């Protein structure tokens, strides 16, 4: 028996796309819900968690300094693999790697240790998304994922945040 009724209708994400197979994820094309004689899958969320980025304090950082970035999610998340955040020093793009998640399962930590050549006299720049890296093919494929307690994977397009001012984070390497 379905738990869907006129009193409890399914809700759909606003970005879900209707197709002949059912409602689909606009990024992956995965069928989220199908109605009728087709196989069904769990209903998609009406909205995804939001993410907030915190950056290191303004200052001048020499080579060998670890810069820590934290991303706070509005809901509990789980992390698989090693996602990253792109950080630009001048014209050089580096990756702050995922280093862990706190006990609340809402605060993700990313870190990058500066090296010689990471000069950013006008301040660093930080990308506004968490990068999910995909490596390999078939069964050996490894995909970084952020998921919710329900087990539903948060699409990469939803892993964005507003970057605070970073012009005062200067590196002299």
Q: Give the three-class secondary structure for 44.
A: coil
Clarify whether residues 14 and 99 are in a common domain: no
pLDDT digit string (tens) for the chain, length 173 residues: 344 433 444 444 556 666 665 556 666 666 554 444 333 344 444 456 788 899 999 999 999 999 999 998 887 787 777 788 999 999 999 999 989 889 988 898 999 999 999 999 999 999 888 887 655 444 434 445 666 666 667 666 567 778 888 989 898 88
Number of domains making up the chain: 2
Clarify whether residues 81 and 14 are in a common domain: no
Tokens 């209903």 appear where? 43
Clarify whether residues 89 and 137 are in a common domain: yes
How many Å apart are CA 168 and CA 156, to the nearest integer?
29
Q: Which domain holds residue 35?
A: 1-47
CA nearest to 48, candidates 162, 150, 144: 150
Please give the C-alpha separations between residue 83 and each of 9, 108, 128, 143, 147, in angstroms, as whole numbers: 35, 10, 13, 9, 13
CB 124 within 8 A of CB 111: no
CB 44 within 8 A of CB 15: no
Tokens 């069928």 appear where? 31
Beta partners for residue 23, in sequence order: 18, 33
Clarify whether residues 37 and 104 are in a common domain: no
């Amino acid at each position: 028996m379905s738990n869907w009724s006129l009193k409890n209708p399914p809700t759909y994400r606003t970005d879900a796309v209707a197709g002949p197979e059912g409602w689909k994820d606009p990024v992956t094309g995965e069928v989220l819900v199908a109605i009728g004689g087709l196989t069904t899958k769990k209903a998609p969320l009406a909205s995804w968690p939001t993410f907030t980025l915190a950056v290191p304090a303004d200052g001048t950082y020499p080579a060998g300094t670890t810069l820590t970035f934290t991303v706070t999610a509005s809901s509990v998340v789980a992390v698989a693999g090693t996602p990253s955040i792109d950080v630009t020093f001048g014209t050089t793009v580096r990756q702050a790697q995922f280093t862990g998640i706190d006990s609340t399962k809402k605060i993700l930590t990313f870190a990058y240790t500066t090296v010689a050549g990471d000069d950013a006299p006008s301040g660093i720049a930080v990308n506004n998304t968490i990068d999910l890296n995909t490596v390999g093919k078939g069964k050996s494929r490894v995909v970084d994922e952020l998921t919710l307690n329900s087990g539903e994977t948060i699409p990469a397009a939803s892993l964005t945040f507003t970057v605070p001012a970073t012009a005062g984070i200067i590196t002299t390497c």
